[in-house]
Structure 1
Amino acid sequence: YKERQALKSSLASDFKKLTEEQKVLLKAKPSPSERRVRNMLVADKKDWQYTQSARILQLAISDLGKAWKNFFDKAQPGWGKPKFRSKREARQGFKSDRSKIKDGILYLEQARGSSVPKDQWRGFKLSEKPLSDEFGVVSYFKEKGRYYVAIPYKIKAEDVKLPDKTGKATAVDVNVGHFDYTGGRVNVLPKKLDRIYKKIKHYQRQLAKKQVENGKAACESENYLKTKAKIQACYRKANNIQNDLMHKFTTELVNDYDKIVIENLSVKG
């Protein structure tokens, strides 16, 4: 309470030091804040706001407020110009803090103005068992034609089981196609991944040929969209294979070794 009163008094003193022209400009164009934007959107509601959950909009405004705070306060760890996501980005999503998990099914909060009856409101079946009954803000996003959910579970420190000490150490040599370490070599470019990249190259040539022949009109044809969907499916497969290899390799390192040394090398460069 004392800190809040001190902040108010300092702001009042700073406001008195301003010139009349600066005061008029500050009143006409006040500094942006999370509360001011929220009040404006609540006072002037649009039709789509009644059909969607109110928490989705409020969480988006909260993220916007954090971006403003980081931009105007250099002491913040994320200080700098905010990076806004484009509407044309391949990954689109939203957040919700009112989601519930029941019998392995994740249920999203239903808006009051939703046209779907309550008895027909369905949830998402989770691919794995919930790690805990408590979780934070859930992220829903669509990427390459499929929907995904990221759930941050809240786990107590005493429930976390640490692996047993092995007394071993290893060093990892990072290369473009393989990783060398004490236990051997890990191939990060298997043959199945090479076959997928060949398919991607083939489909990209088809799309380029359609664009050369038909121009911008090619992007609206059914064959173009089908080929584009095949490319996205191949990229998704390649990404899943690479993630699976990396997760298995890093899990093996953590379970078998106590000390892991990795060279500070820019492979991309």
Structure 2
Amino acid sequence: MIEAIKIRIYPIKKQRTKLNKTLGSGRFLYNKMLEERNEVYERLKDDKEALYHYTYKTEKQYKQEFLFLKEANSRALQNKTRNLITAFHNFCEGLNIPRKVGHPKFKSKKGVQKYTNDNVNNNIKMDFTRHKIKLPKVSWISFRDDRVFSGKIRHVTVSRTRTNQYFVAITLKAQDDAEPKNTIHEKDIAAFDMSAKDFLVNDAVRMKNPRFYRSVEKKPKHPHRNLSRKQKGSKNWEKARLELATHYEKIYNQKKDWTHKTTRDLVNKYDVIVLETLNIKGMQKFNSGLSKSVTLDFSWHQFKTYVEYKMKWTGKHFIQVKWNFPSSKKCSHCGQITNDLPLDVRVWTCSTCRTTHDRDLNASIKLKVGGIRILKEEKHITIIHDDKNTAGMAESQAFGDDVRPVAILQNACRRFSMRKEAHTYGKDLHESPSFRKE
């Protein structure tokens, strides 16, 4: 797996000017080349043969037309060109299925700016003693980070945030991942149901969503008000813009830090983590009020991405069960599916066995059984059950078998039925402050 380390750099005024030139030139070249491709695509989209063999203007031709591009880093411009070609190729060929590939968009100077530079002939160097990094056309820049790492640098990505902070993401030579485990104890398998109210739920933990944005949303003096009263382009407007950008950047950093710590705790504790692939667009369409929570309070996609690469790094397994798997509607006691179960019903009673279920808790139980089935049939992993009878019963229930010992059935009822006392869902996953016990 490729390893990347992100550090903050502190360029002086002269260095900031050089960095900004490369950032602006890369954005300008990307937009110009995209504009040309859009015109050609609209003109020749019905003639695929002519579109395929069309010769576009090269980076060198753009430099001859716009002389200021020669002042920027040539490797950075080449990577911008390569990124656009890849993006447009994916759009035209319909790659990355099943995810729909959208049309490439123009780069805006209002967002995060970045460019990538390859390490050629050792033109990128690190000095950990002086805390400096050498970048092409910029020379040595100070950075603040105490980490010392080894390995050959492949390339670096320089970025500038909306609050005018500069960072460098250093990509190191790929390292071999740990060997995946072939034998796993059932107690080391954790399945979680994810929802907008409770971020993670299973029979051991109920973790509340952090609500980083909503906790500060209703402050008396919101930065949006200050910005709306200023004349656009003035110095006071820029100060208000920085204040607003700092407000959102803090929320983003809080969310990212919380996600990293939470995923690290989970990866250290379990050998297998099972989650459900969520249809987020469909959920937002059904509930418009969910958009603010998904985009600002937390990120399901970011959480699953962090879990996936950290599990792969350590030789563990990350399983995703399809979103249409009947985890919430299928009784974990008898296997009966209740189709008429709207989303606003959080507690329901099975019409067959009369067992009362918490919707999210029941879903986590079914997801674990579905994850174990995927481990056995698709990944050929050996599962060691602590209680073979209970494990067999759980797997049998998941797929609707009718034969179950009465004693095991009663034991499952005691374990999985919702308790009468409100908010008593078991002990915390561990002592980490990221997890809260109801």
**TM-score, reference length from structure 2:** 0.43
| 1:199–1:234 CA contact under 8 A, matched in 2 | no
- The change in CA–CA distance for 1:68 and 1:222 in structure 2 (over 3 A counts) is closer
| 1:177–1:189 CA contact under 8 A, matched in 2 | no
* Structure 2 partner of 1:252: 265
Mind listing any 5+ residue stretches in structure 1 that lack a counterpart? Answer: 1-21, 112-120, 212-217
1:32 aligns with 2:55: yes
* Structure 2 partner of 1:96: 117
- The change in CA–CA distance for 1:37 and 1:200 in structure 2 (over 3 A counts) is farther
* Structure 2 partner of 1:129: 147
The Cα shift of 1:81 comes to 5.6
Matches within 5 A, 1:76-87: 76-77=95-96, 82-87=103-108
Structure 1 distance, partners of 2:250, 2:103, is 32
* Structure 1 partner of 2:235: 222
- The change in CA–CA distance for 1:181 and 1:223 in structure 2 (over 3 A counts) is farther
Q: Greater CA deviation, 252-261 or 77-86? A: 77-86
The Cα shift of 1:206 comes to 3.3
- Structure with the bigger percentage of helix: 1
Percent identity, please.
21
The Cα shift of 1:257 comes to 1.1
The Cα shift of 1:177 comes to 4.4
Structure 2 distance, partners of 1:94, 1:84, is 16
Structure 2 distance, partners of 1:243, 1:177, is 19
The Cα shift of 1:50 comes to 3.4
Task: Give the match's secondary structure for 2:174.
Answer: coil
Matches within 5 A, 1:56-75: 56-73=76-93
1:143 aligns with 2:164: no
Give the letter aligned to residue 241 of structure 2: K
- The change in CA–CA distance for 1:71 and 1:266 in structure 2 (over 3 A counts) is closer
- The change in CA–CA distance for 1:201 and 1:173 in structure 2 (over 3 A counts) is farther
Give the letter aligned to residue 86 of structure 1: K
Structure 1 distance, partners of 2:275, 2:171, is 28
The Cα shift of 1:255 comes to 1.3
The Cα shift of 1:240 comes to 0.9
Give the letter aligned to residue 108 of structure 1: L
Give the letter aligned to residue 248 of structure 2: Y
Structure 2 distance, partners of 1:162, 1:106, is 36
Task: Give the match's secondary structure for 1:140.
Answer: strand
Please list the CA deviations of residues 160-180 of structure 1 after superposition, one character each: whole Å capped at 9, or x if unmatched.
598996751222232324323
Task: Give the match's secondary structure for 1:231.
Answer: helix
The Cα shift of 1:239 comes to 0.8
Structure 2 distance, partners of 1:58, 1:232, is 30
| 1:106–1:125 CA contact under 8 A, matched in 2 | yes
| 2:198–2:208 CA contact under 8 A, matched in 1 | yes
- The change in CA–CA distance for 1:177 and 1:85 in structure 2 (over 3 A counts) is farther
- The change in CA–CA distance for 1:194 and 1:136 in structure 2 (over 3 A counts) is same
Structure 2 distance, partners of 1:264, 1:72, is 27
**TM-score, reference length from structure 1:** 0.66
Structure 1 distance, partners of 2:214, 2:84, is 42
- The change in CA–CA distance for 1:77 and 1:195 in structure 2 (over 3 A counts) is closer
1:243 aligns with 2:267: no
- The change in CA–CA distance for 1:183 and 1:124 in structure 2 (over 3 A counts) is farther
Structure 1 distance, partners of 2:219, 2:58, is 48
Give the letter aligned to residue 189 of structure 2: A
Mind listing any 5+ residue stretches in structure 2 that lack a counterpart? Answer: 1-46, 285-438
Pairs aligned (count): 221
Aligned Cα root-mean-square deviation (Å): 3.6
Structure 2 distance, partners of 1:138, 1:252, is 29
Please list the CA deviations of residues 217-253 of structure 1 after superposition, one character each: whole Å capped at 9, or x if unmatched.
x223433332221111111111111111111111111
Please list the CA deviations of residues 46-65 of structure 1 after superposition, one character each: whole Å capped at 9, or x if unmatched.
44233222112222222233
Structure 1 distance, partners of 2:161, 2:171, is 19
Of 134, 141, 163 in structure 2, the residue corresponding to residue 107 of structure 1 is 134
